[in-house]
């Protein structure tokens, strides 16, 4: 953990203290404070001391990122822009991007490269798309990255229906080995639609690379169920990743007042929101626990107080051998990374890495280090590497 040195305000008669030598003592105190500030770029972890490097700053709520084959980092800003980082230099916004609904939690969201990016240069993004009469929805689009712009951008999927409100858009993109896309959605703070299979609200959908429904999706008894739905009864999922060995889709979703949940999103499963939850309503009224309704799928880990999970990555790099196989989840309210170990399908939180920043996304870089985005008006790109 970071050590803090606090020095209280001291007033004194400088000539008098100079004579007694106390001025030298005070200067030593301030020197110690300066040393403390210089070592704030390190944090102690189970993998030893880790250096926190500020790679870029002054970003407008960065949200999602992906590494290009040449090592550059492409990332989104919630206000509606996409930029590229190269050697600590941030580009101007890319041209060819879609119009976004940049209100509240809406805007430009996640970004991912097609698995065959080196051949097709296709970049996929999620964004809050403005709809008629002040409504908005979560959309998935794609375009070719050429000459630092997105060429021929097209929207290939929209969450239906579009509704009013600035909250809960979900939006994480996860490609499968079959080039299908898992897209995490949210119930737009509307509660009951998460149980309605004729709506995409509160679901995970599985799509083909062109945005149409995947043949791998389950079949529901409800004749009105939408073909794209993989799982439902979710609240707001902004963390998702495939387990590198099992191929299972792990997701972490925001609870209400308490009750953030880590789950395996299985085909056809109902996760219970808003009928059950490990959290309470914001007005303090109780919601039945999931154990009272066994027909709903329960969580693997529950966090109360909340961590506000956003971003997820499984680590398999060489920089931190002690972390191999671990899941890392970004924490907004917990201001750091949560490390989780998964063994035989069971998950256990084993460590928290404090970063004193709201963490929006986390990825493993081609250098084997962990990279994170911070969710602020003056957003940062940080890199975690071993302290040599």
Q: Are 363 and 313 spatial neighbours (Cβ–Cβ below 8 Å)?
A: yes
Helical H segments across the chain, by residue range: 14-20, 22-38, 117-120
Q: Are 199 and 222 spatial neighbours (Cβ–Cβ below 8 Å)?
A: no
Catalytic site residues?
168
Which strand ranges, in their side-by-side order, compose the sheet holding 370-374?
42-45, 48-59, 379-386, 370-374, 359-364
Pairing of strands 48-59, 346-354: unpaired
What residue ranges in 78-178 does DSSP mark as E strands?
Answer: 81-86, 89-90, 108-113, 122-130, 136-146, 149-158, 173-175
Report the distance separating Cα 330 and Cα 360, nearest Å.
Answer: 6
Q: Are 350 and 338 spatial neighbours (Cβ–Cβ below 8 Å)?
A: no
């Amino acid at each position: 953990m970071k050590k803090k040195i606090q020095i209280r305000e001291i007033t004194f008669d400088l000539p008098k203290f100079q004579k007694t030598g106390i001025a030298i003592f005070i200067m030593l105190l301030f020197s110690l404070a300066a040393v403390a500030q210089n070592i704030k770029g390190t944090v102690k972890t189970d993998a030893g001391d880790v250096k926190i490097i500020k790679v870029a700053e002054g970003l407008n709520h960065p949200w999602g990122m992906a590494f290009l084959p040449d090592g550059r980092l492409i990332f989104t800003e919630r206000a509606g822009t996409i930029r590229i980082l190269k050697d600590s230099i941030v580009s101007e916004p890319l041209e060819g991007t879609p119009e976004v609904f940049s209100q509240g939690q809406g805007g430009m969201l996640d970004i991912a490269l097609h698995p065959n990016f080196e051949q097709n240069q296709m970049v996929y993004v999620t964004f809050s798309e403005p709809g008629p009469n002040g409504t908005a929805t979560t959309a998935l689009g794609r375009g070719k990255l050429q000459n630092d712009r997105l060429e021929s951008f097209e929207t290939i999927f929209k969450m239906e229906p579009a509704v009013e409100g600035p909250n809960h858009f979900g939006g994480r993109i996860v490609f499968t080995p079959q080039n299908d896309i898992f897209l995490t959605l949210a119930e737009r703070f509307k509660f009951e639609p998460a149980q309605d299979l004729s709506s995409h609200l509160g679901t995970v959908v599985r799509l083909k690379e062109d945005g149409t429904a995947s043949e791998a999706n389950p079949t529901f008894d409800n004749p009105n169920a939408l073909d794209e739905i993989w799982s439902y009864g979710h609240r707001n999922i902004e963390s998702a990743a495939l387990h590198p060995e099992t191929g299972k889709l792990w997701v972490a979703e925001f609870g209400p007042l308490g009750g953030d949940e880590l789950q395996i999103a299985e085909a056809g499963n109902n996760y219970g929101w808003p009928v059950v939850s490990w959290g309470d309503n914001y007005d303090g009224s109780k919601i039945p626990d999931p154990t009272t309704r066994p027909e709903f799928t329960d969580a693997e880990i529950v966090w109360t107080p909340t961590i506000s999970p956003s971003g997820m990555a499984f680590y398999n790099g060489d920089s931190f051998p002690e972390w191999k196989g671990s899941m890392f989840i970004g924490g907004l309210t917990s201001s750091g990374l949560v490390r989780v170990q998964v063994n035989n399908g069971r998950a256990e939180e084993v460590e928290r890495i404090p970063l004193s920043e709201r963490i929006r996304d986390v990825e493993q870089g081609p250098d084997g280090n962990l990279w994170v985005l911070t969710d602020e008006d003056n957003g940062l790109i940080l890199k975690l590497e071993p302290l040599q």
